[in-house]
Amino acid sequence: MELNPHDLIRIYNQDDLLTDASLPEWAVSALVHAPYAVVRRAPSKNGLIPVGIRGSKKNERLPAWLISSVVYEVISPEMLVSPLQWKIKQHELNPSILSLKSITPILNQEKLYWGPTGSTAFELATGIKTLTEESDLDLVLRYNNPLPVAEGLSLLDKLNKEAGVRLDIQLETPLGGVSLAEYVNSTTVLVKTLTGPMIVDRKTLWSKLDHVMTFKQ
């Protein structure tokens, strides 16, 4: 089974989650209402999947580990591009979701591997209200090959002009995730790797390293 950061995994039994301490009350409640965890960026260990549990508040986030043999359903950001996968009512669309609909033709025309993440993805996948009127739209773009800076800058400009909310776009590379805005504006970038954040020259994001991730395509 291949998993990537930002994938959502449906949890069928809270006992399948391993944490350093007992689940806090907010986490238990969150899993009852929306039994999902998100794959986080960390090395797997002993067959366990690194995941995160989210509550209704921004400070309610908990790292955990999930037994891989009990995974029954995975929802990737790419799957949530299609409204057919959404578990929300069309007449209750938040500005972030309306912006997602507006920019979808641009990204599909570019033939990219992409999808919504964060609160937008969680609400679309679960039907649980998590977005506010002020929420950003989080996106991930996956690139196994180097993205020309000029091409990235042009794409970012098109998306910002079309979206009605602030965009937070992460460019996923074999080395890790980096802000698209930072990538197109700076030769050195902060990249989130499996082992932690590091500052690198943007040209090294596609270096062929033994331990880096590649993406399903």
pTM of structure: 0.88
Please report the pLDDT score of residue 59 as a whole number: 83
- Determine the pLDDT at residue 208: 55
Summarize pLDDT for 48-103 with one digit per residue, the tens.
Answer: 999 999 987 888 899 999 988 888 899 999 999 999 899 887 666 889 999 999 99
Task: For helices 118-126 and 95-109, give the axis angle rounded to 10 degrees.
Answer: 100
Q: In what order do the strands lie in the sheet with 17-18?
A: 17-18, 61-67, 48-54, 36-39, 8-10, 74-75
* Residues 213, 88: Cα–Cα separation, whole Å: 32
One domain, residues 33 and 99: no
Q: Is residue 2 part of a domain?
A: no
Q: What is the pLDDT of residue 98?
A: 94
Helix (H) or strand (E) segment spanning residue 1: none
Picking from 75, 98, 114, the residue at the C-terminal end of a domain is 75
Mean pLDDT lowest among 65-74, 160-169, 187-196: 65-74
Q: Do residues 37 and 85 both lie within one domain? A: no
End residue of a domain, out of 48, 75, 102: 75
User: What total number of domains does the chain contain?
Assistant: 2
Q: Please, which pLDDT band fits residue 118 given cuts at 50, 70 and 90? A: very high
Residue 116 sits in the same domain as residue 179: yes
Q: Is residue 165 a part of any domain in this protein?
A: yes
Q: Which residues are catalytic?
A: 136, 138
The mean predicted confidence, pLDDT, of the chain is 89
Residue numbers of the domain that contains 51:
8-75
Both 111 and 66 in one domain: the answer is no
User: Poorest-confidence range of 91-100, 132-141, 145-154, 163-172?
Assistant: 91-100
Question: Do 45 and 87 reside in the same domain of the chain?
Answer: no
